[in-house]
Chain A
């Protein structure tokens, strides 16, 4: 975990006091809504259908237990007792009052949490692998670099009014859990032949109205040059990105219109001018950041403790363990994913009580640390295997032990028309119905890994383009209609899904998904062939035929 020092604390407090002044000027009428909108957005404050929404950053998905308790406190004191974890390592509160926001921010600042740049046309929360620092085979902890970039991009004097929002994600593992290929800048931490740390840099990925998979702009940028390289990309984008049309303003459109070769030449030219400047980071600076990350003092523990052996007799525990527990880089420890996708529940929501108890469990079993992943689940990153049975019992009591991680009911969904002022159709009830249809755990296991992603409008907050099954809600003649794609994915082999046929009505979505799944079960060569692989092997046609034959 990164511990704020006096410098970080001062900045966050100064930001809170600035926002307090801005809110006061808005409420007194000194600032018009037009002027204030940009200021509130830069502090994570949206206006949704029923109320303001407050989005808080959880940089690179790492939370300390006291921070999670502070989020619970916000939910309880200023909101309606729950929060919603998003696909970009943020948490959202849906019912907050503008007049309460400065106090809420001040409460969060006490534990080193902020909402800076969680919205607006600036550099958004830097996201990373939720297993950073604990995943076996990782090159090194990407959060050191994430934090360095977080600091550099916070209140940047040149890039706080970009053509459009700008998102950076970092991974240091072969298997990409951070979806770097669908970010404005994706960074893959690698070592060069000399063993030096650097990054493969991707640019121009993104979803939304015009989805693109990111392209590699440079195969290796040395760690010491990463800030100047990012600065060069941003400077080119700030000057040449389109500002005439909000739908064409993301960097992906600039990269697409210029072509990656021309774009990379522009960046290279700019970079050569600034790479040997004070943006160059020496080892000491990296060391300083690293020194403020604390790591657990792991015990020497057996690979297979007695507690685990005994608990294996309980089929419910075993089902959960096989589903939600992943290998840790240290022997005797595990990474535990906590599903926020209970049957019939809204994906990604957690109550204040759940957050509080989870914080206690993190203290007891995970060195006080919690992680947040882009799939809208949480994780405890350092659980001793001997503690797994006790942890499972506690999670089960909280309703947080649904063994469906990576299965068909582990659905990513945006808030949709129930909350969002941009949405055209509802997402959450669709997700809820699907979790009920596939509530049978044996059936879900039989189906295997299958990601359903649901967005309630073209802006794609629910990442529908990269869902194995993607569901996009649109409005047609006053009715909710859903377009369904298959074959998308968000990992290192990222791909965009293909439309399977005409849109279907709200009530028909779950039936269509059932038909797609039935088609898959009939078409797969063997049980190990995952949905993704069957779609890849056969294409969309055989699915289309089966699903639409009777419609």
Chain B
């Protein structure tokens, strides 16, 4: 499954651990939430980056004490119809000020890229190669946004205010 990060298809430096996979010596790892919380200090002390795979039905606030120390959070879309991780993503970015990698995993299709970018995701495990290749093109599909989110894109309401004021100066 191709990984898109920073708008490009890249190699994934992280290895995903299951609940019972033996811990590798070094290297970057993504750890299931339950396992991570069982020995958070242990994981954080090890060489290599640590990320957490967070299920979409668990309160993301539990992860807050570790957000400054982990390198990645992988949120899960079990089906593309299940939108809980969008809320988790926005909370991580906008309420808890998380700045590390925020990865979308599971059923990730090109038709969700814009929503995911707006919610704060910056890395995408894309289900289909063609969708991963179309990432940049798809991400630019929309130039107008009605809602303010943490991605900093200017909303339609504010753009109108700017237009109003610039017109006001002219008259």
Contacts and interface: CB of A to CB of B under 8 A. Distances in A.
User: Do A and B touch directly, given a CB cutoff of 8 Å in the complex?
Assistant: yes
Interface residues of B, number: 33
Interface stretch (A92-100, A155-163, A399-407): A155-163
Nearest to B156: A7
A238 B109 contact: no
A238 B142 contact: no
Interface string A261-297: 0000000000001000111010011001000000000
B162 to A, nearest CB: 11
A157 B118 contact: yes
Interface string A1-25: 0000101101100100110001000
A156 B90 CA distance: 12
Contact of B86 (A35, A152, A157): A157
A278 B80 CA distance: 28
B96 to A, nearest CB: 11
Interface string A242-266: 0100000000000000000000000
B161 A284 contact: yes
A158 B88 CA distance: 9
A273 B147 CA distance: 17
A285 B115 CA distance: 24
Question: DSSP majority for the B interface?
Answer: helix
Contact of B83 (A39, A238, A277, A281): A238
A156 B145 CA distance: 9
A154 interface: yes
B107 to A, nearest CB: 9
A151 B159 CA distance: 14
Given A161-B86, A238-B86, A35 B80 contact: yes
B59 to A, nearest CB: 9
Nearest to A120: B81
A273 B148 contact: no
B115 A157 contact: yes
B156 A158 contact: no
A161 B107 CA distance: 13
B143 A152 contact: no
B156 A161 contact: no
Contacts of B136: none
Interface in B113-152: 114-116, 118-119, 130, 141-149
A307 interface: no
B126 to A, nearest CB: 13
B97 interface: no
A287 B56 CA distance: 40
Contact of A158 (B81, B82, B83, B145): B83
Nearest to A35: B109
Interface string A216-248: 000000000000000000010011000100000
A366 B34 CA distance: 64
A158 B161 contact: no
Nearest to B107: A35
B99 interface: no
A508 interface: no
Contacts of A155: 114-115, 142, 145-146
Contacts of A11: 142, 144, 146, 156
Contacts, number: 95
Interface in A458-516: none
Contacts of A125: none
The bracket for how many chain A residues form the interface is 35 or more
B141 A161 contact: no
A38 B118 contact: no
A241 to B, nearest CB: 9
A38 to B, nearest CB: 6
A235 B119 CA distance: 13
B13 interface: no
A239 B87 contact: yes
B148 A160 contact: no
B142 A14 contact: yes
Interface string A169-188: 00000000000000000000
Interface string B66-102: 0000000000000011111011001000010000000
Contact of B80 (A154, A161, A162): A161
Contacts of A14: 141-144
A157 B114 CA distance: 8
A5 B163 CA distance: 12
Nearest to A38: B81
A255 B87 CA distance: 19
Contacts of A8: 144, 156
Residue in B130, B148, B149, B160 with the greatest tally of chain A CB atoms within 10 Å: B160
A220 B102 CA distance: 38
B146 A154 contact: yes
B83 A235 contact: no
A184 B66 CA distance: 37
A283 to B, nearest CB: 12
Contacts of B86: 157-161, 238
15 contacts: A11-B144, A11-B146, A17-B141, A30-B130, A151-B156, A152-B147, A155-B142, A157-B147, A159-B86, A160-B86, A162-B83, A238-B87, A243-B82, A285-B160, A288-B164
The 6 A-B pairs with the shortest beta carbon distances in the complex, nearest first, are A161-B83, A157-B118, A278-B148, A11-B144, A151-B146, A157-B115
Interface of B: 80-84, 86-87, 90, 95, 109, 111, 114-116, 118-119, 130, 141-149, 155-157, 159-161, 164
Given A284-B161, A285-B160, 18 more contacts: A7-B144, A8-B156, A11-B156, A14-B142, A38-B81, A151-B146, A151-B157, A152-B146, A157-B90, A157-B114, A157-B115, A158-B119, A160-B86, A161-B86, A235-B87, A238-B83, A278-B155, A288-B161
